[in-house]
Amino acid sequence: MRFVSMETIEKSIEVNAPIRQVYNQWTQFEEFPNFMEGVLEVRQLTDRKLFWRAKIGGKEKEWQAEITEQVPDRQISWRSIDGAPTSGTVTFESIGPDKTRVTLRMEWQPEGAVEKAGGVLGVDSARVEGDLKRFRDFIEKRQVATGAYRQEHH
């Protein structure tokens, strides 16, 4: 039996917008390519299933993910249902009437030397941090979410 290690990253950012607006924007998964580096496409297939297409380590990859838990204005958790094992949780915390802390924790199994090197060199960590900053800039400039999905899933 071969032991396969998972990479884990956790990053937080403060967004100058109310929690409802920040959460609502995060639920607009098809907007992710506007602020997530390497994400080429996200399509919402059902209330709980998403199709992803991204460029990772110089290769284009596709996979599906399912939302395993969703609580409006609190958190969204997911895991891949095909492709490389990935999972994560994004949480939303009100830290004032117009300020929200977004914390993103992701785990994945790197495939191949390029992806493994990305983890070791901190490339993945910097990418997630950059994605959160671009998300913050996206929502702060718009001052309104592009949509909202308020269903709860457990």
Q: Go through the domains of the chain in sequence order and give each one's CATH number.
A: 7-28+69-142 (3.30.530.20)
pTM flag (> 0.75): yes
| The pLDDT of residue 134 | 94
Residues in the chain, how many? 154
Average pLDDT over residues 14-40: 94
pLDDT at 21 over 90: yes
- The contacts of residue 153 (CB under 8 Å, 6+ apart) are 47, 48, 67, 68, 69, 70
What value does the mean pLDDT of the chain take?
85
Residue ranges with strand state E in the chain: 7-15, 39-44, 49-56, 59-71, 75-80, 86-96, 99-108
Task: Indicate the pLDDT class of residue 101, thresholds 50, 70 and 90.
Answer: very high
